[in-house]
Amino acid sequence: MKKILLAAFFVFAGLSLFAAPSLEDVSERLSKNKVTRGQFELERAAKGGKALKSSGGFVIASDYGIIWRTAKPVKTVQVVAKDFTLTESASGKRVKVDAGKNPVYKQMALLTSSLWNGDLTAAQSAADLQFWSDKESWRIEMFPKDQSVQMALEKIVVEGICSGGTAAATKMQMFLKGGNSARYNMSGHTFSDTLLADERGYFD
In a domain, 2, yes or no: no
In a domain, 12, yes or no: no
Q: Which domain holds residue 145?
A: 20-201
d(CA 118, CA 74): 35
Run of H or E residues at 27: helix 23-31
Amino acid symbol at 56: G
In a domain, 172, yes or no: yes
- Give yes or no for a cis peptide into 73 (omega within 30° of 0): yes
In a domain, 14, yes or no: no
Question: Is there a contact between 87 and 77 (Cβ–Cβ < 8 Å)?
Answer: yes
Q: Which neighbouring-strand residues pair with 35?
A: 61, 192
Structural domain total, the chain:
1
Span 4-26, pLDDT tens digits: 444 444 433 443 455 789 999 99
Span 61-81, pLDDT tens digits: 999 999 999 999 999 999 999
Question: Is there a contact between 60 and 51 (Cβ–Cβ < 8 Å)?
Answer: no
- Note the pLDDT of residue 195: 97
CATH code where residue 195 lies? 2.50.20.10
Instruction: Name the band, by pLDDT with cuts 50, 70 and 90, for residue 82.
Output: confident
In a domain, 62, yes or no: yes
- The model's pTM is 0.85
In a domain, 131, yes or no: yes
Task: Check pLDDT > 50 for residue 123.
Answer: yes
Question: Is there a contact between 203 and 196 (Cβ–Cβ < 8 Å)?
Answer: no
Span 93-120, pLDDT tens digits: 999 998 878 878 888 888 888 889 888 9
